[in-house]
Amino acid sequence: MALFGIILDGLGNVTTRYALNINPNESVMNVCAMRALGAFLGFLLFQPILKTRLVDSFQKLSRRKKITVLIASSLGTYVSLTFWISAVKIGNLTSLIALSGTTPLLAGMFEIAMGKTKATRYLAYAFGLFAIGFYFLIKN
């Protein structure tokens, strides 16, 4: 299922770039709104298959958790998507997708900083290999 999600994300990036090439005057905000709406409609479409109840789950949350969910989802989707689409519009798509590989690295660093996980030698080795790869990406 995760691989399917990654494939869909990659297809979304390629089709977004294709759409921006066809219509370069399209604003980033319009593109973000269309992608966000498409993602939400896709979630609603797959809701019976996924056996999740979005509205019921949301209504069970406390007021504070509802606010947290709304803020986090807004920042995590719309605002970050705005930056991503801006980069896709003007940058090299292959390099951008390679840079998006920093997500697991940053998540690992944040979890270590917040004390949720402990650094292991394997994690340090992975970070080192990532740094070497990132160096070669920037160098070329």
Mean pLDDT of the chain, nearest integer? 80
Full DSSP string of 43-97: HHHHHHHHT--HHHHHHTS-HHHHHHHHHHHIIIIIIHHHHHHHHHHHS-HHHHH
What number of CA atoms fall less than 13 Å from residue 14's CA on the CB side? Answer: 6
Domain of 43, in residue numbers: 2-91
Number of domains in the chain: 2
Asked if the model's pLDDT at residue 47 lies above 70, the reply is: yes
> Are the beta carbons of 137 and 92 closer than 8 angstroms?
no
| Co-location of 55 and 8 in the same domain | yes
Can you read off the two tokens belonging to residue 81?
A: 């998507």
> Are the beta carbons of 20 and 26 closer than 8 angstroms?
yes
Instruction: Tell me the pLDDT tens digit for each residue of 110-131.
Output: 888 888 788 888 888 888 888 8
Q: Is residue 41, in this structure, part of any structural domain at all?
A: yes
Q: What is the mean pLDDT of residues 30-46?
A: 80
Phi-psi region of 52 (alpha: psi -120 to 50; beta: other; left: phi over 0): beta
Full DSSP string of 103-119: HHHHHHHHHHHTTSS--
| Co-location of 54 and 108 in the same domain | no
| Co-location of 33 and 61 in the same domain | yes
Percent of the chain having pLDDT more than 90?
5
Distance from the first to the final alpha carbon of the chain? 34
**pLDDT confidence tier of residue 140, bands split at 50, 70 and 90:** low
Q: What is the mean pLDDT of residues 2-31?
A: 80
Q: Is residue 20, in this structure, part of any structural domain at all?
A: yes
| Co-location of 83 and 106 in the same domain | no
> Are the beta carbons of 120 and 112 closer than 8 angstroms?
no
**pLDDT confidence tier of residue 1, bands split at 50, 70 and 90:** low
pLDDT of residue 29: 79
Q: What is the mean pLDDT of residues 89-107?
A: 75
